[in-house]
Structure 1
Amino acid sequence: MLDLVIDARPASLGNGFSVRRILPYRLRRMLGPFIFMDHAGPVSLDPARVTSMDVLPHPHIGLSTVSYLFDGQVTHRDSLGVQQIIRPGEVNWMTAGSGIAHSERFEDPSMLAGGTLEMIQTWVALPEADEENAPSFTNYQPQELPIFTDGGIWMRLIAGDAFGLHNDVKTHSPLFYTHVVLKAGTRFGLPMGYPERGAYVAKGSVEVGGRFYTAGQLLVFTPGIDPVLIARETCTLMLLGGEPLGERFIWWNFVSSRRERIDQAKADWQAGRIALPPNDNVEFVPLPDDRSRPAGNPPPPPLS
Structure 2
Amino acid sequence: MDATLLIDRRTHDLGGGFIVGRVLPFRKRRMVGPFVFFDHMGPLELAAGIPRELDVKPHPHIGLSTVTYLYSGAITHRDSLGSLQEIRPGAVNWMTAGRGITHSERLEYARAHGASMHGIQAWVALPREDEECAPSFHHYHGAEQLPEFNEDGVHGRLIAGAIDGQTALVKTHSPLFYLHWNMAADARRSLGTQYPERAIYVAQGAIDVDGQPLAEGQMLVLPPGKAAQLTAHEPATVMLLGGEPIGERYIDWNFVSSSKDRLAQAREDWQAQRMKLPVGDDQEFIALPS
- TM-score, normalised to structure 2, is 0.96
The amino acid of 1:136's aligned partner reads: S
Deviations 1:164-184 (A, max 9, x none): 111210000000001001111
Question: Is 1:18 aligned to residue 9 of structure 2?
Answer: no
Distance across 1 between alignment mates of 2:80 and 2:116: 28
Give how far 1:273 is off.
1.4
1:211 aligns with 2:212: yes
User: For residue 35 of structure 2, what is the aligned residue in structure 1?
Assistant: 34
1:180 aligns with 2:181: yes
Cα deviation 1:243-293 (Å, max 9, x = unaligned): 01110000100000000000000000011111101211421011111xxxx
In the alignment, what sits opposite 1:117?
117
Whether 1:142 and 2:166 are equivalent positions in the alignment is no
Corresponding residue of 1:302:
none
Please list the CA deviations of residues 138-191 of structure 1 after superposition, one character each: whole Å capped at 9, or x if unmatched: 000123211011111100000001121112100000000010011111111114
Distance in 2 of aligned mates of 1:65 and 1:115? 23
Superposed CA deviations along residues 187-220 of structure 1, whole A, max 9, x for unmatched, are 1111431000011011111112323111000010
2:202 alignment partner in structure 1: 201
AA aligned opposite 1:272: Q
Tell whether the 8 Å contact from 1:54 to 1:105 is kept in structure 2 after alignment: yes
Q: Structure 1 residues 137 and 191 mapped into 2: Cα distance closer, same or farther (>3 Å)?
A: farther
Q: Per-residue deviation at 1:48? A: 4.1
Which residue number in structure 1 is paired with residue 167 of structure 2? Answer: 166
Contact 1:73 1:111 in 2 (8 A): no
Cα distance in 1, alignment partners of residues 183 and 224 from structure 2: 24
1:285-304 Cα shifts (integer Å, max 9, x gaps) = 11111xxxxxxxxxxxxxxx
SS in 1 for 2:191: coil
Q: 2: distance between equivalents of 1:283 and 1:191?
A: 46
The TM-score, its normalising length taken from structure 1, stands at: 0.92
Q: Give yes or no for the alignment of 1:272 onto 2:273.
A: yes
Q: Is the Cα contact below 8 Å between 2:157 and 2:181 reproduced in 1?
A: yes
In structure 2, how many angstroms separate the alpha carbons of the residues matched to 1:146 and 1:278? 32
Separation in structure 1 between the aligned mates of residue 273 and residue 168 of structure 2, nearest angstrom: 37
Q: In structure 1, how many angstroms separate the alpha carbons of the residues matched to 2:39 and 2:289?
A: 20
Show the 5 A alignment for 1:75-154. Answer: 75-108=76-109, 110-143=110-143, 144-154=145-155
* Alpha-carbon distance, 1:119 to partner: 1.3
Aligned to 1:241: 242
Which is worse superposed, 47-56 or 160-169? 47-56
CA contact (8 A) 2:7 2:218 kept: yes
Specify the SS of the correspondent of 1:263. helix
Decide whether the 8 Å contact of 1:190 with 1:197 is kept in 2.
Answer: no
Alpha-carbon distance in 2 for matches of 1:181, 1:5: 21
Please, which runs of 5 or more residues in structure 2 have no aligned partner? none
> Match of 1:142, SS?
coil
Q: Give structure 1 stretches of 5+ with no counterpart.
A: 290-304
Percent identity, aligned pairs only, is 55
> Where do 4+ consecutive residues of structure 1 move more than 6 Å?
none
Matched length: 288
Contact 2:49 2:111 in 1 (8 A): no
- The 2-side partners of 1:95 and 1:243 are apart by 18
Does 2:66 align with 1:65? Answer: yes
Opposite residue 15 of structure 1, the aligned amino acid is G
Q: Which amino acid aligns with 2:181?
A: V
Is 1:224 aligned to residue 212 of structure 2?
Answer: no
Instruction: Work out the CA distance in 2 between the residues paired with 1:83 and 1:130.
Output: 24
Give the conservation status (yes or no) of the 8 Å contact 1:205–1:214.
Answer: yes
The Cα offsets for residues 29-79 of structure 1, whole Å up to 9 and x where unpaired, read as 000000000011111113343422000000000000000010001100000
CA RMSD of aligned residues (A): 1.2
2:96 is aligned with what amino acid?
Answer: T
Q: Tell me which residue corresponds to 2:53.
A: 52
